[in-house]
Amino acid sequence: MQSRIKIGVVGLGYVGLPLAIEFSKKFITYGFDKSLDRIFQLQKNFDKNKSISKFDKKYLKKIILSSDFENIKKLNTIIVCLPTPVTRNKKPDLKLLENATKIIGKYIKKKTTIIFESTVYPGVTEDICVPIIEKASKLKWKKDFFVGYTPERISPGKNYKKISEIKKIISGDTKKTENYIKKIYSQIINAGLYLAPSIKVAEAAKILENTQRDVNIALMNEVSIVFNKMNISTREVIKAALTKWNFGNYKPGLVGGHCIGVDPYYLSHKSLSMGLNPDLILTSRKINENMSNYIFEQISRNKNIKKILILGVTYKENCNDLRNSKILDLIKILKKKKYNITVNDDIADKKEFKTLTDLNLVSLKNIKEKFDLIILSQPHNYFIKKIKLLLKLLKKNSYFYDLKSYVPKKYKTKNLFWEL
């Protein structure tokens, strides 16, 4: 244990908790969260997000968990891992980040290094967060305190890489800060570090990563609409196109979550503020945001569809995160149009789903009736393993919508399958 370095991770969600776990293996580590319930749950060795492995749960005891931010005075390194969502008008919402930065500034001591991991547009760290810290702390930047930016790249859910396996971009306000950040992150990252030439470059790299994915998925969504109209399987078109060495393996689908469906709005906001019109970015967002409506249009064309079973409500497979899940948009439309809906997702949080939709999640074992349509929204592992059982829940001459094209072709003979 390197006793001189004392780290505090602010925000113990899908990003912050796994990061705090890794740092606790090497350094004295505090974990801060404003939610007392969250702190109490973690103290009882319970993580509702399921963001850490059973093996790593034992390290929860090594983290000094607290909602008392005055403890920041004891630390020399603060790492900020807070969500940066968008407003209803699709504008960057930095309130959580700004409020936390103000609290950090209130309690930091001289020579503290503050590292931001939250996704932001270029300039937020130095132009927004630094002035907040200076005002709250009465300290001078680059003399009394230092800042860095190292974007999070965690992909929540099973079957995805751990923090240690993901190459890390780092950046700092001075050479000394860069070296310090390199020193501490090299202790937990096995995949290597990439030093960006500036904080703004590191900030821009993160939103570019997700904007690129969003634009490419929008292209696939648009061509899938075209191919469906032509009665051509998009899945088969992609398989054929992949025989060319430089074809990108992107697939159509609902784009939600806290990154891909959000980050492009941060980049477009910054573009618009400089008088630039990011046509491609905003058009891609419009296409992806409209996919729930497109799927409903396909459903509404068949007047025989009345009873619908929806499988999977999280924003991605094998993950319990409901944030910005686009299947929820479809569920709201179907509810409004008075369809009889049954929903199953054994991974999602039942209370959160109830709050968001006013519907209850039903266990598969309790589903005895048959349906006119089954929509496989997210191919959680347990769905794929039970595909034969699921198909038995269909009425004769009914429909199965496979939104991610995961169901093996051998099952697509008895019922009318449709996929994006």
In tens, the pLDDT along 255-296 reads: 998 899 999 999 999 999 999 999 999 999 999 999 999 999
**Residue tagged 């796994």 (tokens):** 18
The per-residue pLDDT for 415 is 60
Q: Do 269 and 303 reside in the same domain of the chain?
A: no
HEC string of the chain?
Answer: CCCCCEEEEECCCCCHHHHHHHHHCCCEEEEECCCHHHHHHHHCCCCCCCCCCCCHHHHHHHCEEECCHHHHHHCCEEEECCCCCECCCCCECCHHHHHHHHHHHHHCCCCEEEEECCCCCCCHHHHHHHHHHHHHHCCCECCCEEEEECCCCCCCCCCCCCHHHCCEEECECCHHHHHHHHHHHCCCCCCCEEECCCHHHHHHHHHHHHHHHHHHHHHHHHHHHHHHHCCCCHHHHHHHHCCCCCCCCCCCCCCCCCCCCCHHHHHHHHHHHCCCCCHHHHHHHHHHHCHHHHHHHHHHCCCCCCEEEEECCCCCCCCCCCCCCCHHHHHHHHHHCCCEEEEECCCCCHHHHHHHHCCCECCHHHCCCCEEEEEECCCCHHHHHCHHHHHCCEEEEEEEEECCCCCCHHHCCCCEEEEC
Q: Do 146 and 10 reside in the same domain of the chain?
A: yes
The domain spanning residue 68 has which CATH number?
3.40.50.720
The domain boundary, picked from 161, 196, 231, lies at: 196
Q: What is the CA radius of gyration of the chain?
A: 23
The per-residue pLDDT for 411 is 75
Q: Do 247 and 297 reside in the same domain of the chain?
A: no
Q: Do 75 and 186 reside in the same domain of the chain?
A: yes
Q: Do 15 and 39 reside in the same domain of the chain?
A: yes
Distant-in-sequence, close-in-space partners of 140: CB < 8 Å, separation ≥ 6:
134
Q: Which residues of 82-113 are buried (b: 16+ CB within 10 A; e: fewer)?
A: bbbebeeebebbbebbeebbebbbbbbeeebb
Is residue 131 in a domain?
Answer: yes
Is residue 206 in a domain?
Answer: no
In tens, the pLDDT along 31-88 reads: 999 999 999 999 999 998 888 888 888 899 999 999 999 999 999 999 999 999 999 9
Q: Do 41 and 163 reside in the same domain of the chain?
A: yes
Q: How confident is the model at residue 3 (pLDDT cuts 50, 70, 90)?
A: low
* Average pLDDT of span 120-125: 98
Q: How far is the C-alpha of 87 from the C-alpha of 64, rounded, in Å?
A: 33
Evaluate if residue 140 carries a pLDDT over 80: yes
Is residue 318 in a domain?
Answer: yes
Is residue 205 in a domain?
Answer: no
Q: How confident is the model at residue 372 (pLDDT cuts 50, 70, 90)?
A: very high
Q: Do 161 and 15 reside in the same domain of the chain?
A: yes
Contact call for residues 66 and 11 (beta carbons, < 8 A)? no
Instruction: Give the pair of three-digit tokens for residue 132.
Output: 């907040």
Q: Do 151 and 276 reside in the same domain of the chain?
A: no
Q: How far is the C-alpha of 267 from the C-alpha of 276, rounded, in Å?
A: 11
Is residue 202 in a domain?
Answer: no
Domain count, the chain: 3
More confident residue, 48 or 247: 247
Backbone region of residue 142 per phi and psi (left: phi > 0; alpha: psi in -120 to 50; beta: other values): left
Evaluate if residue 368 carries a pLDDT over 70: yes
- CA dihedral for 388, 394, 400, 404, sign (positive or negative): negative
More confident residue, 415 or 86: 86
Q: How far is the C-alpha of 200 from the C-alpha of 149, rounded, in Å?
A: 9
259 has catalytic annotation: yes
Q: Do 301 and 376 reside in the same domain of the chain?
A: yes
What residue type is 342 in one-letter code? T
What residue type is 67 in one-letter code? S
Lowest mean pLDDT among 33-47, 114-128, 180-194, 399-413: 399-413
The domain boundary, picked from 246, 262, 287, lies at: 287
Q: What is the DSSP letter of 147?
A: E
| Domain enclosing residue 369, as ranges | 290-420
In tens, the pLDDT along 319-337 reads: 999 999 999 999 999 999 9
Q: How far is the C-alpha of 257 from the C-alpha of 402, rounded, in Å?
A: 19
Annotated catalytic residue, options 81, 129, 259, 319:
259
Instruction: Give the pair of three-digit tokens for residue 387.
Output: 């595909």
The domain boundary, picked from 155, 173, 196, lies at: 196
Q: Do 230 and 249 reside in the same domain of the chain?
A: yes
Q: How confident is the model at residue 158 (pLDDT cuts 50, 70, 90)?
A: low
**Residue tagged 């890794």 (tokens):** 22
Q: Do 122 and 38 reside in the same domain of the chain?
A: yes
C-alpha dihedral, 369 to 321 to 42 to 85, nearest 10°: -150
Q: How far is the C-alpha of 405 from the C-alpha of 163, rounded, in Å?
A: 29
Instruction: Give the pair of three-digit tokens for residue 145.
Output: 């305190």
